[in-house]
Amino acid sequence: MAGLNAIMEWTFFEEVPVPKEVNEILVEGEYAEAAYKTIRDVAIITNKRLIIADRQGLTGKKVEIYTIPFKSIIMYSSENAGLLDVNAELELWTKAGTFKLNINKKVDIRKLDRLIGKYIL
C-alpha cells in the first residue's frame, strides 16, 4: 500500500476546545468528541465523521468543509512519532481514496486512534 498517494493531507497541531459553531452543521444524534488545530482552522471528530474546515484565500473568509464519514473508512493505520520524528501519522483508506493526517507531538495519537477505532470498528 505504500505506493498509494494521499488525496488530501492535513496536520493536527494540538487539541483545542470544540468551537460552538460546529453545532450548526451536526446532524440529529451527532455530537463532537474532540477538536484539533490545523494550519488555518480546526478539525472535529464526531461520533459519525471527521470534519475538517479549511480557510482559503488571503482573508480566510472562504471556508471549505471536508467530511469523511466513518462508515466510508475501510482501513486505517497509525504511526507513532519516534525520538527523531516531529510528527506521528494517521492514514485513512476510504472508498474515495487515501487521506493522511500528520499528528504533532502535542496531540495524543493514541486518543485519536481510540476515537477513530471506536466508530469504525
pLDDT at 115: 92
pLDDT at 68: 93
Give the integer Cα–Cα distance in Å for 67 and 28.
16
pLDDT at 59: 63
pLDDT at 3: 44
DSSP 95: S
pTM metric for this prediction: 0.84
Sequence-distant (6+) residues with CB within 8 A of 46 are: 26, 30, 31, 32, 33
Find out whether 73 and 120 touch, Cβ atoms under 8 Å.
Answer: yes
Per-residue pLDDT in tens (0 to 9) along the chain, 121 residues = 444 555 788 899 999 999 998 999 999 999 999 999 998 889 999 999 999 988 776 666 778 888 999 999 999 998 876 655 667 889 999 988 899 999 998 898 889 989 999 999 8
Among candidates 15, 7, 34, 53, which has minimal Cα distance to 119?
34
